[in-house]
Amino acid sequence: MSFEHLSGKKVKFDIVNKNGAVLVPADSVLNPATLRLLQQHEINPFDVVVQAVKEEDTLESPSKLIQEAAHYSKYLFDRLHFDRKVPLIEIKNQLIPVVRQISRHPNLFELFESVKAKDEYTHQHNIGVGVLSTMIGQWLNLEESELALLSLAATIHDIGKIRIPQEILLKPGKLTEDEFDEMKRHTIYGYEILKGTVGLSPRAMLVALQHHERLDGSGYPLHLKKGEIDFLSQIVAVADVFHAISSKRPYQDSMPFYKVVTLMRQGSFGELNPEIVSLLLDKFIHAMMGKKVMLSDGRLAEVVHINSFDDLHPLVKIEDALLDLSRNRDIQILQILG
């Protein structure tokens, strides 16, 4: 395999060998000597993530990073099909640093629009859930070791879907009962795949198994209840639902923001951890302050005050006039424009 196209490029993340030793540190410029070193250690050139020409562009918009990460996720999952071995070192050292970088993006709604899956749902969903879970972990002030584990576990939570037939995974219409039963088995498949992976925390395996469990026992595959579900699995469950209903899927268009919030709040009654749901939604709702929004009647407005008693219906400014959406409840916020 040729490395010529990488010559002169700056490495975005550390490149490590099979034992985890750093061969080329992040921010190094690849030259003939370092490229020979990579060849000697049988590094796949497709595993090498290089920086964009203008690094500030990726800082301004996370969209490109998310696309790159989703493509790399697909590549790694495709490799798993053939190798029958989870490429844990590549995931930890090439994919997770991108997830962590994206999660630190300062504009919450630009990030929200970027992580919403628009095509290649499965792999954009992996990255989206990884990013959202990492953000929640940061807001919860998790210890760095637990945050790193959460980022990893969330990004590979759906790894079991590699065993689901494509005709089920990508079916545009409603699944039959038998198809849905098979789809639900991705949690068990994921646990089985990860169970034999050396160096992986058992809690990451539990996230793959438990992210569809619900606190009231209504989830699957084991119908566990609140005290039986790992806390990291509870975080990923919230991020998983939030990302899924926000995104365009093979059988469903993305939902407007107010519907996402409404459904998430309904799901927090008995099913999802209510503290985690409240934390996530409060961060997004209060980030609306000063943002341009599209209203359900087609008008553009600016959010000038969040009503504490009705935060989904804030006070907005349309040109020079103020409109209190809490007194005009037939008008909703469809989209936050930034």
The series of mean pLDDT values per 10 residues for the chain, 338 residues long, is 70 75 79 80 77 47 82 87 86 91 85 69 88 97 96 97 92 92 98 93 98 97 96 98 84 81 85 96 93 94 94 94 95 87
Any idea what the Cα angle at residue 328 is, between residues 327 and 330, rounded to 5°? 140
Q: How far apart are alpha carbons 77 and 72 in whole angstroms?
A: 9
Rg (CA), the chain: 21
pLDDT value, residue 56: 42
Residue 156 near residue 126 (C-beta atoms within 8 A):
yes
Q: Does domain 52-287 have CATH number 1.10.540.10?
A: no
User: How many other C-beta atoms are found inside a 10 Å radius of the C-beta of residue 46?
Assistant: 13
Backbone CA torsion sign across 253, 254, 257, 261: positive
Residues 144-185: pLDDT tens digits? 999 999 999 999 999 999 999 999 988 888 899 999 999 999
Residue 312 near residue 293 (C-beta atoms within 8 A):
no
Q: How far apart are alpha carbons 86 and 76 in whole angstroms?
A: 8
User: How many other C-beta atoms are found inside a 10 Å radius of the C-beta of residue 309?
Assistant: 6
Q: How far apart are alpha carbons 239 and 129 in whole angstroms?
A: 5
